[in-house]
Amino acid sequence: MRLTSFLHIALVIGGIALPSAAHADFRVCNGTQGRVGVAIGYKDNDVWSTEGWWNVPANSCETIMRGPLVARFYYLYAIDYDQGGEWSGKAYMCAREKEFTIKGRNDCLARGYDRIGFFEVDTGEQKNWTVQLTEQGLSTPQPDQRPPYAPQPGKQTQ
């Protein structure tokens, strides 16, 4: 047997024997026709954190957190930049207009942040998870509840 044939067989066998790395991420898919901005909140050990913004183009997905999930419950807030709606909930956390990472979820306004409602995502302690944002979950907030940086319904943003 020639050396090159032996090496080829060894590489093929070795490649089959090696398991592929498991993929574990938190992803958000935008199933709408508009561009969406996403913020996430979570508790890692005893520390609450919120992070944003990820821009998710229409009909696409983005990985928000890479690697195995650290919590069972995650919290999302998303805004539709083009149509002016939002996906929100009653879990209030801190956020701001520009890119952010904020530790803690109390006293948002006193610390110079906005206080907005995130919706809860129960991952069931899975190591990866994907959230689907659809037109059906999109709501128009009341003007006094809209973050100052959320686009007005019907207005286009650049």
Report whether pLDDT(28) > 90.
yes
Q: For residues 94 and 111, is the Cβ–Cβ distance under 8 A? A: yes
Q: Which residue range(s) make up the domain with 63?
A: 22-145
> How many structural domains comprise the chain?
1
- Identify the bridge partners of residue 54 per DSSP, sorted by sequence position: 38
Give me the CATH number covering residue 77. Answer: 2.60.40
132-147 mean pLDDT:
69
pLDDT tens sequence across 65-97: 998 888 889 999 999 988 888 999 999 999 999
Strands 60-66 and 86-87: unpaired
| Residue keyed to tokens 């919120």 | 50
The pLDDT assigned to 142 comes to: 54
Flag whether 81 is in a domain: yes
Please write the tens of the pLDDT for every residue from 39-51: 999 998 889 999 9
By DSSP bridging, strand 47-56 and strand 36-44 are antiparallel
Of the chain, the percentage scoring pLDDT greater than 70 comes to: 73
Calculate mean pLDDT across residues 141-148.
55
Strands (E), the chain: 25-30, 36-44, 47-56, 60-66, 73-80, 86-87, 91-95, 100-103, 114-122, 129-133
What mean pLDDT is predicted for residues 119-129? 89
Is 15 within a domain? no
Give the position of tokens 């419950």: 73
Whether residue 5 is contained in a domain is answered as: no
Instruction: Answer yes or no: is 133 within a domain.
Output: yes
Note whether residue 113 is domain-resident: yes
Q: Given a cut of 90, is residue 139 above it in pLDDT? A: no
**Does residue 118 carry a pLDDT above 50?**
yes
Q: Is the pLDDT of residue 157 over 80?
A: no
Q: What pLDDT score does 83 carry?
A: 82
